Chains A and B, each alone.
Chain A
């Protein structure tokens, strides 16, 4: 290399070794933190390392896991969907009202999913066709969907769903501690991973997050991509709403109030940039499990929910601050590397 100073430096000369590239990411850091928390909690909290705890942990995080599959791509495009918690409530009510009207459970599920898709379409249409900021639109629909849900059922709840369905929502796979709902989650996860990380559509999502104009000029249908993501987000929130209803056996208008904040906290913690353009699903899933495992361990250790709230908040703030501090260091290093790279030919030649 020193003899051929005039040879152009290729991509490989600048690239990091593959091990460093895989290990030194936000995602790996969160996964490592998750492992530390799991080991630590097993050692400190006596009842944490048990099959029952694992089952309840998975049952509890399932709702957030499902919704985060679409919240992550939406935040990678630089948008946000604050209406998901309210959509969980609305689909729960639609499902409950359909059941009350004597419709069979599968029809109720389909109805709830349709409502979710329509709600998502409404969000997406306002955002892409009327050209409104996602934050403002979904703050509006967050109030609207919740309002319709609470308006339809008031303070009453629909209960008495068929046992086979409520049992299914809590059932485990054979003798393993893994709940059946995880099968549904894994199927959807495979779909989401393919969509986000291995398809043309997914490359478009990252491109939009980096620059909408550049994405449009390189052939990405920006409006269509964003619209599709919001429709999917509404649908999956509705699916989570049906699960939520069956798991607790009760359809209420105020189900899952404030859930959107938990989902966003987990997604941001999992390494999705709030500016858009970066993130990966394995980090997001680790983020969801990290918050879930922390609150489960703290609850078992008889720490009250308010402390869990404080920790969630501090973790969220710390994770975004940490990434901007890290970025600053990286920029400094890159600048130094660039300076020495540009000076090299002068000194050797």
Chain B
């Protein structure tokens, strides 16, 4: 603060200062959160495969490795967009469960529904539930956490009231739909392809379009964004509709993958989705992070959970590992941010 007065010419020098030279793209890729998580995932897979080769090399093992994270991946994708706009959506688990049951019920009632239409129904229904959340948050001007906590209860309650002790079994759904859970194209499971397509589209949109950048602007400073003329209400609403739609898609994938749906489908998914996003570098305070990071976070969480029993750690400890990972990730983020800040201060004062 004091040094700026002593060195008035520093502003003019800045561009020539070697300290401000842009980092090469290669260093940036290697220093990114996404890369370190990807390395962690690969390490876990490698170690687990050494212990028990079927984890990766058997046909089923390879498929499960890719299919199981796909459901969490799409839900975390929606969650990441909501968190980037400085909200949180705790109702995703309930939306997933409700949509999964709707899909099952519709198949029982109309067995001949074309499968792509079912995906659209899932997306639309989830989006509708997300719209309820978004409207309450955006127009009520109340924190998303409380609203979505309320809808977490309400949606799950509706689900239990509707389902009771019933459940949808695999025999109730057309085999073409269930095959999606096992089918592969060029060795990659169909469900994973669907999740990856969604990921690529959203990642491109958030990174390259004006609308996508507005989510970041609103998340990093809501007041400034509004003063600048961005439509905060509209973007927050969009984020929640999108998160609901992704949870709905997750519900359809869940139905296809597991074939059995009871009233507790997706219970506790909100924690995993928030965890995946946070581990992937999406800061809970909004404005930073990428959906690719969140997707890798989802991959890491699910892979660790599947690897623990193989490594001889009872799967009771899964949750403790998830908690430690979340805490580790946010502390790491904080330390890095502080160091970065310090570096920038030093550069300015030099």
Binding site for B on A (CB under 8 A): 80, 126, 130-133, 135-137, 139-148, 150-151, 154-155, 253, 261, 264-265, 268, 274-275, 304-317, 320-321, 324-325
Contacts and interface: CB of A to CB of B under 8 A. Distances in A.
A139 B278 contact: yes
Contact of B153 (A136, A142, A144, A312): A312
B230 interface: no
B153 A309 contact: yes
Describe A's contact surface by its main secondary structure. helix
Contacts of B331: 126, 130, 132
Nearest to B153: A313
The 9 lowest CB-CB distance pairs between A and B, nearest first, are A147-B320, A144-B323, A313-B153, A313-B154, A147-B319, A143-B323, A309-B157, A306-B160, A310-B157
B229 to A, nearest CB: 23
A69 B284 CA distance: 27
B320 A151 contact: yes
A151 to B, nearest CB: 4
Interface of B: 88, 136, 140-143, 145-147, 149-161, 263, 271, 274-275, 278, 284-285, 314, 316-324, 326-327, 330-331, 334
A314 B146 CA distance: 11
Query: Which of A305, A308, A309, A324 has the most chain B CB atoms inside 10 A of its CB?
Result: A309
22 contacts: A80-B145, A131-B334, A132-B330, A133-B284, A135-B145, A139-B275, A140-B278, A140-B326, A144-B320, A144-B322, A144-B324, A147-B318, A147-B320, A147-B323, A147-B324, A264-B146, A265-B150, A306-B161, A310-B157, A312-B153, A313-B155, A314-B154
B330 A147 contact: no
B319 A150 contact: yes
A145 B150 CA distance: 24
Given A151-B316, A309-B153, A274 B142 contact: yes
A131 B151 CA distance: 30
Contacts of A148: 320
Contacts of A321: 136, 140, 142
B285 A317 contact: no
Contact of B316 (A150, A268, A275, A314): A150
A327 to B, nearest CB: 9
A307 B88 CA distance: 25
A64 B140 CA distance: 27
B327 A144 contact: yes
A320 B146 contact: yes
B142 A141 contact: no
Query: Which of B140, B150, B154, B322 has the most chain A CB atoms inside 10 A of its CB?
Result: B150
A145 B323 contact: yes
A144 B321 CA distance: 7
Contacts of B153: 261, 265, 309-310, 312-313, 316
Given A151-B314, A306-B157, A324-B141, A137 B323 contact: no
A132 B190 CA distance: 39
A44 to B, nearest CB: 20
Nearest to B161: A306
Contacts of A307: 157, 161
Contacts of B155: 313
Nearest to A265: B149
A99 B326 CA distance: 32
A139 B157 contact: no
Query: Which of A264, A313, A315 has the most chain B CB atoms inside 10 A of its CB?
Result: A313
A313 B284 contact: no
A132 B278 contact: no
Contacts of A324: 140-142
B323 A304 contact: no
Contacts of A130: 331, 334
B346 to A, nearest CB: 20
B334 A317 contact: no
B88 to A, nearest CB: 7
Contacts of B136: 317, 321
A136 B320 contact: no
A230 to B, nearest CB: 14
A309 B143 contact: no
A131 B341 CA distance: 14
B150 A314 contact: yes
A145 B263 CA distance: 26
Given A139-B274, A274-B146, A313-B149, 17 more contacts: A136-B278, A140-B323, A142-B323, A143-B275, A143-B323, A143-B326, A144-B323, A147-B317, A147-B318, A151-B316, A154-B314, A261-B149, A306-B157, A310-B154, A310-B161, A312-B153, A321-B136
A155 B316 CA distance: 8
A201 B35 CA distance: 46
Contact of A141 (B143, B161, B275, B327): B327
